[in-house]
Structure 1
Amino acid sequence: MPIDFDLTSEQKKLKYTAREFAQEVLRPASERADATTDPQDAFRAMKPVYAQAAALGFTTMFVPRQYGGGGSTNVDFLLAIEELCAVDPGFPTILLVNGLALMPLLLHGTDEQRTTWLHRATGDTSGEFLAGWVVSERGGTANFDHPSPQAGIQLVADRRRGGEYVLNGEKHWPCNAGGWDLHGADVNLCVVRTDRTTGGKGGLSAVLVERGTPGITYEAIDKMAHRTCQNVTMTFRDVRVPAENLLARGDGDLLINRNFTWSAPIAAIAAVAVARSAYDFALKWAKSYTGGGSGPIIQHQAVGHLLTDVAARIEAGRYLCWKAAHYMDRHPGEGHALGAMNKTFCGDTMQSVVFDCMRIVGVNALDRKFPMEKLYRESMVFPLYDAGNLAMQRRRAWGVIADIGFSPDLFVDGEPLPFTRSMEGFGTTSDASPP
């Protein structure tokens, strides 16, 4: 059978390089930043760590070699991300969002856009280049593909004479977008409405907004977790961008779906990593803590059984991540249902794993001198971010499995199934039927 879970020597080296970086460089910086009151100060404190990550190639390892990137596979990226997220899941989100902003250029960008921005990202010698992925809005965008032009994305880009677009509206929650100084990332990939008369299928596009573009204000969001990455509210007032910065005209819906497919196993492995850290601590605790009894609590059946279940869920989640990433390596731009199932399974399951580990540790899990409190806060993020599990991710999988071409054997056999617009729109209308 052509199934092999053995890591190559290069993959093992990548894994342990990432682990050493996470423990020696990331851990002390992230602990200080997590305790920092001001959210922008917390993010800015990670800049030296980001520079060291860039020197190791982590910040653009997913970019093809022809553009100066590391040319890593999706599976390779997961190996590094798990090690980083096991220490702090907020910081690797910066790297993930670089990918969310840059990867669409490969499928939807022009040659000039790819050459300009991919080379600028990979050629950064200062180790501070940031790219922002700007989609979410204050009113919510889970129904971005809704048939009504009054629903979904409402940041409007109007075409004006003179070859430019003028943007007006607001975005809420974009990551990296404010940059290290709240004056903007080097480039922000913004999903916009370019047609006010058409719904989400056909009315959306994307536009590249460069740092320093007038008319944008940024306000950092104060979060309970993932404090080492930045989320902001962006307000656009008559923001003018040249027409050549537009991409995916009328295909913004497909760009969103493809992007969240690429990121799904990355978000999923991040959840696995947080669960792994909770399990590591709970296992050591159970082997040494007596609870006032005559021996370690791992000798009690309830604790032993629960630890066994926790370990199984972590292993299952990791291998589903590897499967999804491997499928996407074989079929670029596909895997929408598998990616969505991967992200929802791991995000929901690993949240319960962290809670079960807290039950093993007991009331001491509330003590902030132990890591469980932070891990619990971080675990709350995964069902909510990167296309929320309750809505967008499950709805994307629903559209694929409802398609006439879908078969339960599809992913087992590793066969491709291109994503089409007929798979969009499920759940966006009042009768829960596709438009």
Structure 2
Amino acid sequence: MSSPQGATEERPPSRASLVSPASLTPEQRAWTATLRTLAARRLRPLAEAAEPGRVNRPLVAALGEHGLLARVFPADGVVRAVDLCLLREALGQECTEAETALALQGLGAHPIAASGTEAQRARWLPEVVAGRAVAAFALSEPEAGSDAAALRLRAEPAGPSEPPGWTLHGEKQWISNAPEADFYTVFARTRPDAGAHGVTAFLVPADRPGLGGRPLDLIAPHPVGLLTFDGVPVGPDDVLGEVDGGFGVALRTLDLFRPSVGAFAVGMSRAALRAALAHAAERHAFGGPLKDLQAVSHQLADMATRTEAAALLVHAAATAYDAGEPGVAGRSAMAKLYATETAQYVIDAALQIHGARGLEQGHLLEHLYREVRATRIYEGATEVQRTIIARELYR
């Protein structure tokens, strides 16, 4: 299958097309340029060769081979939001499949890095960093998506004649990398009717008895599926963090990853803007290039301005996270909200400038149009982000 982002794969990406926030260091700017070249030349061919909607293990292995997953989970154990955002923005410009594969490894394994035991980290993190083990973050359910405190997957205490622990009963839905992942970070209810205070996070290897699932088909062909838990056994050694403390594990993970969803959105915005600029300069109508029409040129100006504003907001949220500043939840929500809404606008405007050719299957903008829609839903929908922001204003 040909990649819609393959039009420029024979030449390295132009540094001039990456308008980074002014606060980035020269080293960071150079690193992002290198990442884009790597994504276009090495990662995109692996994405092109894969079956849509399935876990692309060669691509995940390449992320490990080139040290990108080690940048997400560095040897000192400190996951840095700025690095994660720079990675996701750069990859998002050149190969959305590589960006998504990296993000899902990070999302699924971060609870282990942040809240796992020494044994859990030693068992799984080296495999994740090397690209040998595929991770998944299993939070959403058929009746509990953005309202994570309403989840219903039950962790029932083991019987008196059984080993200490629980058995999991219920379903998870819209879980990225399911049902093909090697392990899952699973959030289950250990105290009925306790809301957010009765949820525990468990590390569940894929070979546990009673764990099943099937893939789901979405408008963008990502590996997403449904998981079924029919008495899946978990014990004290599988708990991530503390019993009944799983909601905090989830929130800390989302506070880190929400700005980086915004970074992915910024990357897609930049790719769409770059395509729109090129098309408006080359396409002639009404006696001249499209870029000379005020309706088009003003729209390009708005697209560029909003993209740059989104990038600055994402970078500010990531910097605040790394510095341990207060109000991270609100900043993260603002970054995700504004950047994903901006990306939807920019990609739609770029497609409008292209006209019918942008609708052709396999075109970059057709691809981005399908990719961007989910960013306004996963890891907290736009409406949830506004609720978080408003709540933080009054905190």
TM superposition score normalised by structure 1: 0.80
- Match of residue 376 from structure 1: 369
- Match of residue 84 from structure 2: 77
CA distance in 2, matches of 1:204, 1:17: 42
Partners of 1:83 and 1:273 within 8 A in 2: yes
CA distance in 2, matches of 1:355, 1:32: 27
Letter in structure 2 aligned against 1:189 = T
Superposed CA RMSD in Å reads 2.1
Q: Secondary structure at the match of 1:190?
A: strand
Letter in structure 2 aligned against 1:158 = E
Partners of 1:131 and 1:177 within 8 A in 2: no
Deviation at 1:326, TM superposition (A): 0.4
Tell whether 2:315 aligns with 1:317: no
Deviation at 1:332, TM superposition (A): 7.5
Tell whether 2:205 aligns with 1:210: yes
Distance 1:369 1:213, change over 3 A: closer
Of 51-60 and 165-174, more deviation after overlay is shown by: 51-60
1:7 to 10, 15, 24: 24
2:148 to 144, 151, 159: 144
Residues 388-409 of structure 1: per-residue CA shift (max 9 Å, x gap): 1123x23322332221xxxxxx
Letter in structure 1 aligned against 2:271 = S
Deviation at 1:104, TM superposition (A): 2.2
Partners of 1:60 and 1:99 within 8 A in 2: no
- Match of residue 71 from structure 2: 61
Of 152-161 and 55-64, more deviation after overlay is shown by: 55-64
Ranges in structure 2 where 5+ consecutive residues have no aligned partner: 1-20
Tell whether 2:120 aligns with 1:113: yes
Partners of 2:310 and 2:339 within 8 A in 1: yes
- Match of residue 157 from structure 1: 155
1:336 to 329, 338, 342: 329
- Match of residue 23 from structure 1: 40
Residues 150-192 of structure 1: per-residue CA shift (max 9 Å, x gap): xx1111111214212101100001112323xxxxx23211000
Superposed counterparts of 1:31-430, under 5 Å: 31=48, 33=50, 36=51, 39-40=53-54, 43=55, 46-66=56-76, 73-122=80-129, 124=130, 127-145=131-149, 152-160=150-158, 161=160, 162-179=163-180, 185-196=181-192, 198-225=193-220, 227=221, 229-247=222-240, 248-291=242-285, 293-331=286-324, 335-368=328-361, 370-391=363-384, 393-403=385-395
CA distance in 2, matches of 1:298, 1:274: 21
Partners of 2:46 and 2:58 within 8 A in 1: no
Letter in structure 2 aligned against 1:263 = F
CA distance in 1, matches of 2:392, 2:106: 24
Residues 89-126 of structure 1: per-residue CA shift (max 9 Å, x gap): 3432222222222222344333333333334433x4xx
Deviation at 1:333, TM superposition (A): 9.2
Q: Secondary structure at the match of 1:316?
A: helix
CA distance in 2, matches of 1:300, 1:144: 48
Of 86-95 and 380-389, more deviation after overlay is shown by: 86-95
CA distance in 1, matches of 2:335, 2:197: 28
Q: Secondary structure at the match of 1:382?
A: helix
Partners of 2:172 and 2:228 within 8 A in 1: yes
Q: Secondary structure at the match of 1:381?
A: helix
Distance 1:400 1:53, change over 3 A: same
Partners of 1:219 and 1:233 within 8 A in 2: yes
Q: Secondary structure at the match of 1:233?
A: strand
Give the aligned length.
371
Partners of 2:211 and 2:228 within 8 A in 1: yes
Ranges in structure 1 where 5+ consecutive residues have no aligned partner: 146-151, 180-184, 404-435
CA distance in 1, matches of 2:114, 2:89: 26
Letter in structure 2 aligned against 1:39 = G
Distance 1:27 1:94, change over 3 A: closer
